Amino acid sequence: MSHITLVRHGQANTEARDEISYDRLSPLGHQQAAWLGEHLRDSDQFHPRLYCGSLVRHRETAASMGLGDDITQDPRLNELEYFTLSRLLEEQHGIAPPAEREGFAQHMPRVFTAWQNGEITDPPETFTDFETRVRSAIEEIGKGDGPALVVTSGGLIAMVMRLMMGLDIPAMARMALAIMNTSMHRLHPIGDQLSPVLFNAVPHLDHPKRHFAQTHM
């Protein structure tokens, strides 16, 4: 079993209100990714196995990090469709999405709870299907040889932490909200399973002149 470093993509289109328009990096997102790639090279962090989801923002992050072409794209590493789930929750239950970021602290647990309980009709995928694909991807990557670097999204990372730590839905939602763009999260084999040993690390953004780039959305 090998350790896995999960990386959230760089800042995406913050003005978006749907999945397609959100799925591209902002100029700052490209810069965050470039700084992370530079940090990994300068600190001699070697990852012989590279993975990313198939979304545009995942591929753009990997490219701006300078990871090269030898990267495996796996749709199982794609994000849950939060904009779609949020729209369906509003249409079916009258719960509107918040206008400000602070409102997501209450909105995201509502969306996740309704989704898990099957209260959202015709979602893009069921909560169980999302959980299952994430589990299968991480277990498969963990069985490979050598450290792996995985470029993915915040909701997926939060689901990984739920699986590793037995988190309930409110805790999973709080974790998803806390995850910063281009942050690193490491799973390390302890006994016969992977366990989190690093969460939300942004050493490439720690310099005071880069604090402005510590973004969540």
Per-residue tens of pLDDT for the chain, all 217 residues: 689 999 999 999 888 788 999 999 999 999 999 999 999 999 998 899 999 999 999 999 999 999 998 999 999 999 999 999 999 999 999 999 887 877 888 999 999 999 999 999 999 999 999 999 999 999 999 999 999 999 999 999 999 999 999 999 999 999 999 999 999 999 999 988 999 999 999 999 999 999 999 999 8
- Adjacency order of strands within the sheet including 193-201: 72-73, 49-52, 148-152, 4-8, 184-190, 193-201
Which residues, other chains included, contact 122 with Cβ-Cβ below 8 Å and sequence gap of 6+? 88
Which structure tokens are listed for 150? Answer: 């995985």
For 161-173, letters b (16+ CB in 10 Å) and e give bbbeeebebeebb
> In Å, what is the CA distance from 148 to each residue of 66, 123, 199, 209, 211?
15, 31, 16, 30, 27
Q: According to the model, what pLDDT value does residue 14 have? A: 80
The burial of 44, by beta-carbon neighbours within 10 Å (0-12 exposed, 13-18 middle, 19 or more buried), is given as: exposed
Using CA atoms, how far apart are residues 1 and 191, in angstroms rounded to an integer? 10
Entry pTM: 0.95
- For residue 100, the SS3 value is coil
Q: According to the model, what pLDDT value does residue 1 have? A: 66
CB of 184 within 8 A of CB of 198?
yes
DSSP output for 124-170: SS-HHHHHHHHHHHHHHHHTSSS-EEEEE-HHHHHHHHHHHHT--HH
Give phi and psi for 171, each to the nearest 5: -70, -40
CB of 161 within 8 A of CB of 197?
no
